[in-house]
């Protein structure tokens, strides 16, 4: 090999090394960018799943309400209004209402439309008629709340005849609370735009419904065209000289786009924290180092080739040894990948929920939890379908096959499905479960991922809680009736016992008999009124009405008075001598429940304080005062009890929270009181500790006899 040939070989090798370094650098850059984009898109996808699930739950509530309304005559009736109000409470809607084709407006929030109002001319009504299916409207400012809302609308059809439209308003603030919970580093945030780029949800409130995303920044001018090419992706732009990355995910139900944005440098930092990018970075760094070392070796070899051919051959041998070392590195990488696969398989099997994979809806893999849940060996689950593990009829009365076909239709349409389903165990018993379905690509094949949670314990616990609450209420009623009847029964017993003595002493006269009958009848009438009072107490009000506050307080006190008297608790009602009648609007019997519950809790607090301080003679007093303030009625109930622990005060109206212990309280009473006062009567209820005892404050808007609030 002559000197010229050696130079040509060295030049060729150097060129190859330069190309290798360039390819390595470019590949590293591209893979790093793809990894960063995938990381940001996964954040957007997870946030979109949360929003889609939230919207799907509200769609289901409107669907269920529409079915319930179609089973009864639709009109301004208590039955129709009760369904609308139940839907409002279940979905936390600001309003649920029906517009009939004859122009009738039925409003669940008791909103009275202005004269000449025709629901058929409203955009929500026209949207439902045009689409002829359940759908979402564009955001608009609601007339009753002056807040930005979207409406879920559905046409009502009976026997193929259009009757009207049911609509439910969602205040976008509630959706914002779900979206803004997603935190992306320190500079990132989440927002939502519609198909035209109008900002719907954003941390900057000044942009809402007034700005289009493509007009806020020159580098975002072409973003909508990019959005239309795919359901998800990433977009790079510059804002105030800072490079940023925007990732988006389409929300199929609405046509909106959920977007995340974060500074590009911070996005790279967040992505590098993931194990995959770190491992890839290390591999490419090693390759780059090897490439640099190889270039140095070749350079030294070139110098040595000029001096001696023998030295060149020795360098070639040295390169062979380096290649052998590279093979060992490759073997180590394969071993590491096997370890990662083993770790993920372990996580798959130790999951607390059952996980199954299916191809063409035939199960091809499942974890150990699935075998335990169904009581069937792993190999016998493989090859079955969802219907093979289910009863023929679901717990809601629908055929499993028809219900499953409907779920598959929605899944094929691209929607993730989360629903309740009944399964069979190996012993033939049924159990309820919550199932999540998601299609994904695995090894170039489309598969369906099943995630199943056994909710039988939760269902049993809820049933037992309802039964316990019913029994507790019945026990309180019987105890109260026993207190009320004890005195008249003693009186009747005395009257009967006096008859033999009067007979033997020849004292039975007409006047004696008339007096005996009159007084006995008085006691019997008292017992009858007691039964009627308690029957009225436990009978829920069917419709809202205007009722007088003082009379309602007296009704509640009348029911609880025997228990107060038995425990030596004094109750005082502070009324001004010239106090006029004060009317509020709502469910009267339910409000009596609220007062009885608060007074009963006050009585228990007083007894608890007396039990703790037996040596002190503390006052046993409950004071009820009523006053008016700014067109409202302010009702204060103060006691001399032990007060409420400071740590428990913020949770006192939380469902299932009680300071009495599970043996004495259910934690439902004050939660229901808050629901009745604030949701049903548009009032406020609060509690505060005093120097001695506690004080509940109820504020209700004044109403005239027609039920109109001031």
Q: Is the pLDDT of residue 469 over 50?
A: no
Residues 6+ apart with CB under 8 A from 529: none
Give CA 346 to chain center in angstroms.
31
Per-residue confidence (pLDDT) for residue 461, from 0 to 100 = 59
- pLDDT value of residue 423: 92
pLDDT at position 467 is 47
Mean pLDDT of 215-220: 84
Question: Between 3.30.565.10, 3.30.70.260, 1.20.1440.130, 3.20.20.10, what CATH number should domain 540-701 receive?
Answer: 3.30.565.10
Kindly report, residue by residue over 181-209, the tens digit of the pLDDT.
677 778 788 888 888 888 888 888 788 77
Q: pLDDT band at residue 503, thresholds of 50, 70 and 90?
A: confident
**Which pLDDT score is estimated for 616?**
67
Where does the pLDDT of residue 505 fall: very low under 50, low under 70, confident under 90, or very high at 90 and above? confident
Confidence of residue 593 (pLDDT cuts 50, 70, 90): confident
Largest CA distance in the chain: 157
Is the pLDDT higher at 643 or at 479? 643
Nearest to 99 by CA among 79, 124, 64: 124
480: nearest Cα among 555, 561, 554, 557: 561
Q: CA-to-CA distance for 165 and 128, rounded, in angstroms?
A: 7
CA 226, CA 220: separation in Å to the nearest integer?
10
User: Would you state the pLDDT for residue 198?
Assistant: 87
Please write the tens of the pLDDT for every residue from 668-681. Answer: 678 778 888 988 88
Residue 339 CB: number of other CB atoms within 10 A?
A: 9
Question: What tokens does 186 get?
Answer: 């320190």
Residue 275 clears pLDDT 50, i.e. is over it = no
**Secondary structure string (H, E, C) spanning 19-73:** HHHHHHHHHHHHHHHHHHHHHHHHHHHHHHHHHHHHHHHHHHHHHHHHHHHHCCC
First to last CA, the chain: 108
Q: What is the pLDDT of residue 698?
A: 95
Examine the pLDDT at 23 and tell me if it is beyond 50.
yes
SS3 306: helix
Quick check: 105 and 113 in contact, CB under 8 A?
yes
Give the CATH fold of the 72-174 domain: Beta-Lactamase (3.30.450)
Long-range CB pairs of 463-469, under 8 A, 24+ apart, other chains included: 465/656, 465/666, 468/666, 469/666, 469/668
The CATH fold assigned to 351-454 is Beta-Lactamase (3.30.450)
Question: 376, 371, 380: which is closest to 427 by C-alpha?
Answer: 376
Sign of CA dihedral 334, 338, 339, 341: positive
Residue 466, pLDDT > 50, answer: no
Contact 630/559 with Cβ under 8 angstroms? no
pLDDT of residue 59: 86
Confidence (pLDDT) at 530: 61
* Total residues found in the chain within this entry: 710
**φ, ψ for residue 309, nearest 5 deg:** -65, -35
pLDDT one-digit tens code per residue, 514-555: 777 877 776 676 566 566 655 555 555 557 788 999 988 988
Cα–Cα–Cα angle for 108, 655, 689, rounded to 5 degrees: 110
Give dist(CA 133, CA 153) in Å, integer: 8
Rg (CA), the chain: 37
Angstrom distances, CA of residue 88 to CA of 92, 142, 167, 170, 328: 5, 16, 11, 10, 66
pLDDT score, position 148: 79
Does residue 613 carry a pLDDT above 90?
Answer: no
Greater confidence, 273 or 243?
243
Distance CA 675, CA 357 (A): 43
Outline where DSSP puts E strands in 360-475: 362-366, 417-424, 430-442, 445-454
Q: What is the mean pLDDT of residues 18-29?
A: 66
Summarised one tens digit per residue, pLDDT across range 139-159 is 877 777 777 788 899 999 988
CA 273 remoteness from chain centre = 31
pLDDT at residue 634, as a whole number: 94
pLDDT single digits (tens) 37-92: 787 778 888 888 888 887 888 888 888 888 888 888 888 888 888 888 888 888 88
Q: Which of 287-296, 303-312, 488-497, 570-579 has the highest mean pLDDT?
A: 570-579
């Amino acid at each position: 090999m002559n000197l010229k040939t050696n130079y040509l070989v060295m030049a060729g090798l150097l060129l190859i090394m330069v190309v290798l370094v360039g390819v390595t650098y470019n590949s590293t850059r591209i893979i790093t960018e793809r990894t960063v984009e995938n990381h940001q898109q996964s954040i957007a996808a997870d946030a979109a799943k949360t929003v889609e699930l939230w919207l799907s739950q509200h769609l289901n509530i409107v669907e269920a309400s529409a079915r319930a309304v179609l089973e009864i005559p639709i009109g301004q009736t208590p039955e129709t209004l009760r369904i609308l109000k139940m839907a409002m409470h279940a979905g936390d809607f600001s309003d649920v209402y029906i517009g009939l084709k004859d122009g009738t407006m039925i409003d669940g929030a008791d909103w009275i439309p202005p004269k000449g109002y025709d629901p058929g001319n409203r955009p929500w009504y026209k949207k439902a008629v045009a689409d002829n299916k359940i759908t979402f409207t564009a955001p608009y400012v609601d007339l009753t709340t002056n807040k930005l809302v979207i409406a879920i609308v559905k046409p009502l059809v009976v026997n193929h005849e259009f009757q009207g439209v049911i609509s439910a308003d969602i205040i976008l603030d509630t959706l914002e609370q779900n979206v803004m919970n997603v935190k992306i580093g320190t500079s990132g945030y989440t927002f939502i735009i519609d198909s035209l780029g109008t900002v719907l949800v954003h941390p900057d409130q000044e942009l809402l419904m007034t700005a289009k995303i493509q007009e806020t920044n020159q580098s975002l001018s072409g973003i909508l065209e990019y959005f239309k090419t795919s359901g998800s992706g990433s977009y790079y732009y510059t804002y105030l000289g800072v490079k940023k990355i925007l990732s988006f995910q389409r929300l199929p139900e609405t046509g909106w786009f959920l977007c995340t944005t974060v500074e590009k440098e911070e996005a790279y930092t967040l992505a590098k924290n993931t194990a995959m990018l770190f491992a890839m970075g290390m591999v490419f760094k090693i390759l780059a180092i090897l490439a640099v070392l190889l270039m140095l070796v070749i350079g030294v070899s070139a110098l040595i080739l000029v001096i001696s051919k023998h030295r060149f051959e020795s360098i070639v041998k040295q390169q062979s040894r380096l290649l052998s070392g590279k093979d060992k590195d490759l073997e180590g990488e394969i071993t590491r990948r096997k370890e990662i696969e083993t770790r993920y398989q372990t996580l798959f099997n130790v999951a607390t929920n059952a996980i199954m994979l299916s191809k063409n809806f035939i199960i091809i893999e499942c974890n150990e939890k699935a075998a335990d849940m169904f009581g069937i060996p792993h190999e016998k689950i493989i090859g079955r379908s969802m219907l093979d593990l289910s009863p023929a009829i679901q717990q809601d009365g629908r055929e499993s096959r028809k219900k499953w076909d409907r779920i598959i239709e929605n899944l094929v349409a691209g929607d993730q499905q989360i629903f309740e389903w009944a399964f069979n165990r190996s012993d033939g018993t049924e159990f309820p479960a919550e199932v999540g379905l998601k299609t994904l690509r695995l090894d170039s094949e489309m598969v369906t991922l099943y995630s199943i949670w056994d909710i039988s314990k939760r269902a049993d616990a809820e049933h037992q809680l309802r039964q316990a609450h019913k029994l507790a209420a019945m026990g309180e009623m019987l105890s109260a009736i026993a207190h009320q009847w004890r005195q008249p029964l003693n009186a009747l017993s005395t009257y009967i016992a006096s008859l033999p003595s009067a007979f033997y002493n020849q004292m039975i006269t007409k006047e004696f008999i008339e007096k005996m009958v009159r007084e006995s009848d008085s006691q019997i009438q008292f017992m009858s009124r007691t039964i009627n009072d308690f029957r009225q107490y436990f009978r829920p009000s069917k419709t809202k009405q205007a009722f007088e506050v003082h009379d309602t307080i007296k009704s509640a006190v009348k029911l609880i008075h025997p228990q107060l008297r038995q425990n030596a608790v004094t109750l005082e009602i502070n009324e001004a001598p010239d106090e006029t009648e004060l009317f509020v609007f709502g469910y009267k019997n339910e409000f009596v429940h609220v007062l009885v519950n608060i007074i009963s809790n006050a009585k228990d607090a007083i007894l608890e304080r007396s039990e703790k301080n037996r040596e002190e003679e503390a006052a046993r007093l409950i004071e009820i005062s009523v006053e008016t303030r700014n067109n409202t009625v302010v009702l204060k109930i103060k006691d001399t009890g032990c007060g409420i622990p400071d740590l428990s005060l913020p949770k006192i109206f939380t469902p299932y929270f009680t300071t009495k212990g599970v043996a004495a309280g259910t934690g439902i009473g004050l939660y229901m009181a808050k629901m009745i006062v604030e949701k049903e009567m548009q009032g406020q209820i609060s509690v505060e500790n005093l120097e001695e005892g506690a004080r509940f404050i109820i504020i209700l808007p004044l109403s005239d006899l027609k039920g109109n609030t001031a």
